[in-house]
Structure 1
Amino acid sequence: MELCAKHLSIVLILCLFSQASFAKEPSQVCLKLSSIPVVTFIVPDYENSPFWSTLGNLAIKASEDLNIDLRFHLIPNENRSRFNYADKIEKILIKNKGTDYLVAPFLTGSEKRIMALTEKYGVNFLSYNSPLNTAVKEAIGLPRAIHLHWLGHISPDDEQVGYDAAQLLAEQRQNKPTRLIAINGGRHSAVAKMRFKGLRRKLAEDNQLTLLQGVNTDWSFAQGEDKASQLFQRYQDIHGIWSASDSLAIASLQQWHNLFPDTPPPTIVGIDWTKEIATHIKNNQVLASFGGHVFEGVWLLALIKDHYLGLDFFDENKGIVNYRLRAADKSNVGLLSNIGQINKDLSLLSKCLSGKNSNYEFDAMALMSQ
């Protein structure tokens, strides 16, 4: 029996070695097609949002490098609700006949309707940006588990970035008692909820941190200014401002200067990696911005290109990509200056086009530093 067990172990080792040694290279799997994938790409904002406009511009650049027919569509906040979001997507799909892949963020409560659309029109779907939280999983499961057209999902770890932003504010105070205000996004936004959850986790473990008040906004600059003004006039000795976006961070900074032009502002941290925040970081008006998720469109289009050519990413990541947002501070903020006009060949992110057989990478800092 012992001898048989040894022989069996050797056979298993040889089998594993054989599988690893003879894994097919992309060149052996990827098809050579004359056609190109048609991708309908939905964004919730563009002209009025530094984040979404940057994400969109990068996706357009990636589509050109990857040779993808990208159909870019805007469903703005003022015309969108969880009740009509799927209807608007359906109208876009009807208009864009021949769509191979639909890329869109979820809107809370719209998930089941979107899944029904993918089945009705037989279109592959990739979701992005919004967190794959418990409510979403309970409603529609995981990619390819129930809904086979739902190929994958990508989103940052929004809970962790909320924690990391608070951690950075605490470190800046060198663990002295720190009084914070928090300017968050939409009350019903899954992203805002997760980021605030991360802030609460940091508050629970650090008795030196005190949250004076957290407020919700509609993510707009104007409402950020309004809410910040109210908080500044309500509380004294504010040490730090936790902001759920760069736009809200800049709004609070501007409002502070309007109200207290002769007093240095509290320490401010934002999220989004917008070009606009870079100037304020360089001028020591904002401590840092966490980001990298502006590249989600780029990463998804690389995955789509490979999937279209026959190389499925599912075996590598099970269709779910969740990554940590990185901090840009004064030491590396120069990378953000031209983030929307990145001068790199983004086709190299595709395994089929580059011939590389290493795992996909979802590290924006590394991508910009190459």
Structure 2
Amino acid sequence: MAHATSVVFLNPGSSTETFWVSYAQFMQAAAKDLGLDLRVRYSERDPQNTLQQARDALLGPQRPDYLVLVNEQYIAPQIMRLSQNSGVKLLIVNNALTRDQAQLLNAGKYPDWLGSITANDEEAGYLMLKELLRQRGPIEPGGSIDLLAFSGAKNTPAAQLREQGLHRALREHPEVHLRQLVYGEWARKRAFDQATQLFKRYPQTTLVWSANDEMALGAMQALHGNGRVPGKDVLFSALNSSPEVLQARLDGRVSALVAGHFTVGGWAMVLLHDDAKGVDIERHGERERQVSLFQLIDERQARRLLDMRSREGDGVDFRALSAVGKPDTYNYPFRLKLLLE
């Protein structure tokens, strides 16, 4: 009997982190539907752990057919170098190689590198500020608005792209003054400590932009300590679909929420399934494919995602998304709406 195609996913998050756990669950649902044998390794937010897990997978006696990794903290090139002559194919998810990394690596030297699949992070950063301003309503002529921003980990492409989206929206709205942008490292406690200081330093702040949910929740907690109310005195944006942030969106404490990229790993499973079946996946999209997954989440969609929690893959027919037997013109229809219908 032929063995199932084996995949190892190097998860850069912690095994208690809502986003990365739900991400892995969606991947597992896809792998099960597609007949793939998926093993998830958590780094517990330590890049050195990721490197050791990559060594085990690429140089050990039981190598998987595929290794899926994230370019968190710019770690992908080291793993790509380790992979040479291992016979293991690589796919990068969520954080692609930076332009500089791709040039330095000369990606053509890595025939087993299948490319990357990422979400539209720049657009996510842009949408959050635009929606905050829409919720806030018109500003009197000559008036200004004070904004604070919490970005993620500095050496992470997704964080940088979300910041770029924020700056694009700021260029369109000169009345918004970005008082300070800090790196909350994706962490609630760190953002709480930073926000406690920043709300004292900039008491006129009425908008807070956050590159993820944990930092938004930390900043909201700091505002409460200040005696003010999130969603009334200060409007918050957030990104992700953890139960806590979905509830905050339903309660009106979060005014602008974008989500969708927890699905990237599941779509990656479809690509690996097809590659294993001999499909040239590049015929059905770019080698470095970016998918429009982020969208603003309204109350109805927030409720739907909340009802679905820990069963995110239920109801998605991953096999139907496969390009096996489809014409060359077929485009993978990866979208969040596959879950929200």
CA distance in 2, matches of 1:101, 1:303: 11
Q: Deviations over 1:63-119 (max 9, x none)?
A: 111111111111122x325xx743441124345713100000014443332222222
Match of 2:218 among 230, 246, 251: 251
- TM-score normalized with structure 2 length: 0.89
Unaligned runs of 5+ in 1: 1-32
Q: Does 1:137 align with 2:111?
A: no
1:156 aligns with 2:155: no
Paired with 1:262 and 1:236, the residues of 2 have a C-alpha distance of 13
Following superposition, the deviation at residue 124 of structure 1 comes to 0.4
Cα deviation code 1:130-149 (max 9, x no counterpart)? 1443223222345xx33111
Conserved? CA contact 1:131–1:156, under 8 Å: no
The answer on whether the counterparts of 1:273 and 1:328 sit within 8 Å (CA) in structure 2 is no
C-alpha distance in structure 2 between counterparts of 1:180 and 1:321, whole Å: 32
Q: Secondary structure at the match of 1:224?
A: helix
Report matched runs for 1:294-305 at 5 Å: 294-305=262-273
What amino acid is aligned across from residue 68 of structure 2 in structure 1?
Answer: V
Deviations 1:337-370 (A, max 9, x none): 1243132133332233xx6554211211x21133
| Aligned ranges 1:13-92 → 2 under 5 Å | 34-77=2-45, 79-81=46-48, 85-92=50-57
Structure 2 match to 1:362:
334
Q: Give the direction of change, closer, same or farther, for the CA distance of 1:261–1:269 in structure 2 (3 Å limit).
A: closer
Distance (Å, rounded) in 2 between the aligned partners of 1:307 and 1:76: 30
Q: Is residue 167 from structure 1 mapped to residue 130 from structure 2 by the alignment?
A: yes
Q: Distance in 2 between matches of 1:361 and 1:158?
A: 18
Q: Mean alpha-carbon deviation: is it higher for 241-250 or for 150-159?
A: 150-159
Q: 1:261 to 1:267 in 2, by over 3 A?
A: closer
8 Å CA contact 1:187, 1:217 repeated in 2: no
Letter of the aligned partner of 2:202 in structure 1?
Y
Tell me if the contact between 1:170 and 1:178 (Cα under 8 Å) persists in the aligned partners.
no
Q: Which runs of 5+ in 2 are unaligned?
A: none
Tell me which moved more, 333-342 or 180-189: 333-342
8 Å CA contact 1:182, 1:211 repeated in 2: yes
Superposed displacement of residue 172, structure 1: 1.9
Is the alpha carbon distance of 1:124 and 1:249 closer, same or farther for their aligned partners in structure 2, counting shifts above 3 Å?
same
Q: Answer yes or no: is 1:260 the counterpart of 2:227.
A: yes
> What is the identity, as a one-letter code, of the residue corresponding to 2:112?
H
75, 100, 118: which one aligns with 1:110: 75
What CA distance in whole angstroms lies between the structure 2 residues aligned with 1:238 and 1:166? 14
State the AA in 2 paired with 1:240: L
Residue in structure 2 matching 1:146, options 105, 109, 113: 109
Contact 1:184/1:196 (8 A) holds in 2 = yes
Q: What secondary structure is seen at the aligned counterpart in 1 of 2:310?
A: helix
Q: What's the counterpart of residue 18 of structure 1?
A: none
Give 1:224's aligned amino acid: A
Q: Within the alignment, does 1:121 sit opposite 2:86 as a pair?
A: yes
State the AA in 1 paired with 2:338. Answer: L
Distance 1:262 1:122 in 2: 55
Show the counterpart of 2:310: 340
Which runs of 4 or more aligned residues in structure 1 lie more than 4 Å from their structure 2 counterparts after TM superposition? none
**In the aligned structure 1, how far is the partner of 2:133 from the partner of 2:338?**
29
CA distance in 2, matches of 1:274, 1:64: 23
> Who is 1:238 aligned against?
205
State the number of aligned residues. Answer: 330
With over 3 angstroms needed to count, the CA separation of the structure-2 counterparts of 1:48 and 1:223, relative to structure 1, is farther
Check the 8 A contact 1:183/1:227 in 2, yes or no.
no
Equivalent residue, structure 2, for 1:29? none
Structure 1 residue 206, shift from structure 2 partner: 1.5
2:58 aligned with 1:93: yes
| C-alpha distance in 1 between matches for 2:61 and 2:195 | 42
Secondary structure (helix, strand or coil) at the match of 1:289 reads: strand
- Mark the CA change 1:109 to 1:214 in structure 2 (over 3 Å): closer, same or farther: closer
- The correspondence for 2:298, drawn from 326, 329, 333, is 329
TM-score by length of 1: 0.83
Q: Are 1:180 and 2:180 an aligned pair?
A: no
Amino acid at match of 1:66: L
